[in-house]
Structure 1
Amino acid sequence: MMTEFNQRLSQLQAYLAADPANPHLLLELADLHLQAGNQNEHEAALQRLFAAAPGHFGGRSLQGVALMRQGRLDEAVAVFQALRDEAWEEPALFYNLAYALMLQGRYEEAEPQAARASKSSALLPQAGPLHVRALHFLGRLEDAILVAETALRQFPEHLSLYGLLATLYLDQENLAAAERVARQVLELSPSDPDAATVLGMLALSKQDLTVASPLLRLACASKPNSGRAQMGLGLVSMLEGKLDEAESSVAQALHSMPGHVGSWHVLAWCRILSNRPAEAKEALLEALRLDRNFADTHGGLAIVAIMEGHLQEAQQSARRALGLNPDSFPGQYAQSLLLQSAGQAEQARLIHERLLNSAVLPDGTKLNEAVARAMALSSF
């Protein structure tokens, strides 16, 4: 039985036999091979197209998309930017340029391009979510929420935006709204990764692993590169005491979001709980490189210093952590260890070992539970 690809390929070849220099047919042929993953055939069709119509807009745009798929992002951006410099105003061009820039982490440059593309959301439903994500990456949470809510009033059928909105509400610490919207999304689209992640993280913050685990696994299956969902699975494993599995999931999360400071913190906690202070310090120093003014990084470094018996260094880091944020959990934990140690390095080591072995803080909360709750509700 002839496949849909073979059927369309046969038709195009027949049409091109009669009209071999037809740009429209050649563009469709190049796109057909691109979608099928036939790189050589795709490039050959593009060469025929450019020979027939030098500088063809559609062909150059498709060339940029192909470069993106190959991971050749600098070249893709150059292709799209050249078209922009020629004053082309096609919404898909703005979208493709924004997408390529975001893949490079160039969110400031991507956001205005995504904004231009989102003005044509009726034609490009994916443009609205891209703009919201660009604003989210820039930390412009209120703007992202406003754009999402406005777009949904105009296009309520764009379900992917609801999942994003639930994520934004979660990062805004509007937990009731996050849960309400996420539940609505999953009723209409049961495999939506953003909504599943939000509900999974909310369940995780309540230590409800029977609810959190399947939701986060669903999110990872629907969106394998979701760093947040992978982080959630890492926290589930941490709560289960499976520190090797936790560290593996956190490493996958960091592959997707290497610039997320909190993920480096969780990696450090996996290593602290495994009594590997030197490796924990490596993760914390990476977090420090990303943001020198994050209280929890300095608190973590204080805990590591205590584990290594460097109490003066620990005191300096703990003071810095609590100066930046008096409510910093690692900072407070380090301070409590320092108070108990009374300046005795060996006593500090014994106290820390005892706490690690019992894994219980003075208020009865398990150490891994405190870490998981803090991270589940932290802003991404």
Structure 2
Amino acid sequence: MTDILGVDTGTKRPDRLAILLPLLESDPGNLALLADAAEAALDLREAGIAGDLLDRYAAISPLPSREANLAGLAALQMRQFDRAAEIFATLFAGGAKDNALRFNLAWAQANLKNFEQALEVLDDDSARELPQAAMLRVQLLHQLADFDGAGDAARDYILRHPDHRGLMAAVSVLALDIDDEALAEACAARAGEHPDALTTMGTLALGHERATEAVDLFDQALAANPDLPRAWVGLGLAKMLTGETASAAADIDRGANLFGDHLGSWIAAGWAHFVAGDTATSRARFDAAMALDPNFAETHGSLAVLDLLGGDIAEATRRSDIALRLDRKCYSAALAKSLIAASGGDHATAQRIFDHAARTPIGDSGRTIGQALAKMGLGIT
């Protein structure tokens, strides 16, 4: 039996570990044997066995730097990121500064969402030497919204590490956010079946109105990694374009919850529920965006449209004014203002105008207003 990494997880063990474990039974306090067996277990990705062996070592004598590093690797494999970060930080403070250690410490910190601390450790030299460090450094700069720094670094690193699929996938995601479609497409193509790359290709297909193709790409990405928020939101938006409005809203909700603080995904979720006919949940999603940031124009504009359609012309006017002060190009606020003007402030007339407009495709895309608003929420125009 093998795991997803192709490692044998059955009872048969590689010769090295099979030889060392019986030796330890007859000489359980042999520190060299304990360390070698722990290393052999890690090679097999048997992190639990490695950790137990190193605990036995530590009970006899403090772990030297080599054995402490093995303990940190075991903690990483077991996703015990607090323990891994503590071990690697101690080694780092003690003077161990090699790039592999920097990457391991940064990886542990990143998984703890300590992004700034991770970036402080993972310097440019590490990224230039190790492709996995280059991948993580791009992701950290992206996460911290240093788009210029991330873009400059990414363009350098992909030349240095042209065959690393993880790096290419990470750059493809970044490229979407810095509006470099050519870079996104090129890197995604070189990343193969990496789920982030599939998500990028799905997003590009969605942006060009190829909804069926986008659904297939997002499905493939989520089959490989079900915790990709971009893929869930993208899948929901693609489903909206194919008319699957009920499941679309649920998919976008899942993506918004995985993102947590991504305003656009909550706006997209709100419009998805609106298109599905659930105005109450739509408002709740817009309220969630408002709680995250009261200065996002599209949130005020989206609520203005709901207020208008609910009969509160005064509140719709107030909210749309706020939205346009925040962003004079706010699409939802402009929609609210145009409905107010066209209806002469009459709620029933505004509702009729909107109902007609909502059924009318925009331009040559075939999108309705609700679908367009949902896509704009994620920044896909």
TM score, norm. by length of structure 1: 0.84
1:54 maps to a residue whose letter is P
Take 1:26 and 1:182, find their aligned partners in 2: how far apart are those partners?
A: 40
Partner of 1:114: 122
Paired residues of 2:324 and 2:330 also in contact (CA < 8 A)? yes
What does residue 281 of structure 1 align with?
283
Partner Cα separation in structure 1 for residue 50 and residue 20 of structure 2: 14
Q: By how many angstroms is 1:9 displaced?
A: 3.2
Alpha-carbon separation, structure 1, partners of 2:186 and 2:194: 14
List aligned pairs for 1:75-224, cutoff 5 A: 75-115=83-123, 119=126, 122=129, 124-183=130-189, 185=190, 189-224=191-226
Matched residue SS, 1:173: coil
Aligned to 1:330: 332
* Other-structure match for 2:7: none
- Partner of residue 298 from structure 1, selected from 293, 297, 300: 300
Give the Cα–Cα distance (whole angstroms) in 1 for the partners of residues 276 and 151 of structure 2: 39
Per-residue Cα deviation, 1:155-190 (whole angstroms, up to 9, x for no partner): 32223322333333322222234334433x1xxx53
Distance 1:176 1:14, change over 3 A: same
**1:192 Cα offset (Å):** 2.6
Shift of residue 235, structure 1, vs aligned partner: 0.7
Shift of 1:36: 3.6
Q: Structure 2: how far apart are the matches of 1:91 and 1:343?
A: 65
Over 3 Å counting, the alpha-carbon distance change for 1:28 and 1:76 in structure 2 is closer
1:314 maps to what in 2? 316
Rounded Cα–Cα distance in structure 2 between residues aligned with 1:359 and 1:53: 75
RMSD value, Cα: 3.1
Residue 317 of structure 1, CA deviation: 1.4
Give CA-to-partner distance per residue, 1:193-245, whole Å, 9 cap, x none: 33322222121112112322222222223333222122111111111222221
Q: Distance in 2 between matches of 1:43 and 1:166?
A: 36
The separation in 2 between residues aligned to 1:249 and 1:58, in whole angstroms, is 46
- 1:129 Cα offset (Å): 0.3
Cα gap change, 1:216 to 1:295, in 2 (>3 Å): same
Q: Distance in 1 between matches of 2:245 and 2:321?
A: 29
Q: CA deviation at 1:311?
A: 1.9
Q: Which one is further off, 44-53 or 131-140?
A: 44-53
The alpha-carbon distance between structure 1 residues 92 and 193, as it changes in their structure 2 partners (threshold 3 A), is: same
How many Å separate the matches in 2 of 1:77 and 1:59?
Answer: 15
Structure 1 residues 378 and 99: CA distance shift in structure 2, 3 A: farther
Given the alignment, which residue of 27, 31, 36 partners 1:21? 31
Structure 2 counterpart of 1:153, one-letter code: L
* 2:233 aligned partner: 231
Does the Cα contact within 8 Å between 2:309 and 2:351 map onto a contact in 1?
A: yes
- Counterparts of 1:141 and 1:334 in 2: how far apart (Å)? 32
Amino acid at match of 1:99: W
Distance 1:309 1:69 in 2: 57
Instruction: Please tell me whether the aligned partners of residues 195 and 222 of structure 2 are also in contact (alpha carbons under 8 angstroms).
Output: yes
Paired AA for residue 145 in structure 1: G
Question: What are the ranges of 5 or more consecutive residues in structure 2 without an aligned counterpart?
Answer: 2-9
Shift of 1:15: 4.6
Q: Secondary structure at the match of 1:293?
A: coil
Higher relative contact order (CA 8 A, sep 6+): 1
Q: Distance in 2 between matches of 1:104 and 1:368?
A: 37
Q: Which runs of 5+ in 1 are unaligned?
A: none
Q: 1:318-364: per-residue Cα shift (whole Å, max 9, x none)?
A: 112222222222222222222233223344444444545x2646997
Query: Contact 2:221 / 2:231 at 8 angstroms: preserved in 1?
Result: yes
State whether residues 269 and 374 of structure 2, in contact with CA within 8 Å, keep that contact through their aligned partners in structure 1. no
Residue of structure 2 aligned with 1:345, choices 347, 363, 366: 347
Structure 1 residue matching 2:122: 3-state secondary structure: helix
Structure 1 residue 269: Cα displacement: 0.9
Matched letter for residue 31 of structure 2? A
Identity of counterpart residues, as a percentage?
A: 29
Q: Kindly state the Cα deviation for residue 262 of structure 1 after the two structures are TM-superposed.
A: 0.9
Distance 2:21 2:74 in 1: 22
**How high is the TM-score relative to the length of structure 2?**
0.84
Residue identity matched to 1:129: M
1:153 Cα deviation after fit: 2.4
Q: Would you say the 8 A contact 1:50–1:56 is kept in 2?
A: no
Measure the CA separation in 2 of the matches of 1:60 and 1:255.
37
- Partners of 1:231 and 1:263 within 8 A in 2: yes
Q: Aligned letter for 1:101?
A: Q
Q: Distance in 1 between matches of 2:84 and 2:69?
A: 9
**Pairing 1:244–2:250 present:** no
Structure 2 contact 286–303 (Cα < 8 Å) conserved: yes
